[in-house]
Chain A
Amino acid sequence: DSGVTQTPKHLITATGQRVTLRCSPRSGDLSVYWYQQSLDQGLQFLIQYYNGEERAKGNILERFSAQQFPDLHSELNLSSLELGDSALYFCASSSGLLNTGELFFGEGSRLTVL
């Protein structure tokens, strides 16, 4: 158990809809990262937050947004969903700004868009 909690584990929705994925980092970790895992693209970095502030952006679509709240949990919002957004979305956390390179991953939220 990594200590990172993601909900929901599975989500099925329709095209055009909006969903929110939730992540609670390990106790004491200030950084939260979101990754998208798909068969063709592999593991793609989306966005990073540190202590409530956005620190780095990767290949995140404009239809996607995220935030980190004062209690350090984070939410990833996906809107106007398309079939291609079906993927496994991982949240990961680290204590600081990835000084050691070790990320602690949750078990992921599997999104299926029909």
Chain B
Amino acid sequence: GDSVTQMEGPVTLSEEAFLTINCTYTATGYPSLFWYVQYPGEGLQLLLKATKADDKGSNKGFEATYRKETTSFHLEKGSVQVSDSAVYFCALRVLNSGYSTLTFGKGTMLLVSP
């Protein structure tokens, strides 16, 4: 079945450090890929997405490129801030006959210290 594997956290960084959170996927069809973010005490919200191979999603300084050859969608940011501390979820969507659902990874907690 479809699945998403993320690096385990927590990832602990100092402010202005470079961030990479690894994500790889397994899917039978041609998935769209997403990163969602969950801030403390809140629900998940969409951060960025890519719908086909070689697409790059970007938002709020975060980027991720859809790599079909390595089945990966790693999240990067050049300079993290304390306000980026949150849990990050990689997800995929595969269209099935008449419906689609999102399959999420287990999440990676990011802690940024001043």
Contacts and interface: CB of A to CB of B under 8 A. Distances in A.
A99 B94 CA distance: 10
5 interchain residue pairs of minimum CB distance? A105-B43, A42-B106, A43-B104, A105-B44, A98-B100
A43 B107 contact: yes
B41 interface: yes
Given A107-B43, A108-B43, A101 B99 contact: no
B43 A90 contact: yes
Interface residues of B, number: 24
Interface in B73-114: 89, 93, 96, 98-107
Interface of B: 32, 34, 36, 41-46, 49, 51, 89, 93, 96, 98-107
Given A42-B106, A45-B101, A102-B49, 20 more contacts: A33-B101, A33-B102, A35-B104, A41-B106, A42-B107, A43-B89, A43-B107, A45-B102, A50-B99, A55-B98, A56-B96, A90-B43, A92-B43, A97-B100, A99-B100, A101-B93, A102-B46, A103-B44, A103-B102, A104-B45
A25 interface: no
Contacts of A50: 99
A98 B93 contact: yes
A33 B102 CA distance: 10
Nearest to B104: A43
B102 A107 contact: no
A2 interface: yes
A107 B101 CA distance: 20
Contacts of A102: 46, 49
7 contacts: A2-B43, A45-B104, A90-B44, A97-B98, A98-B100, A105-B45, A107-B43
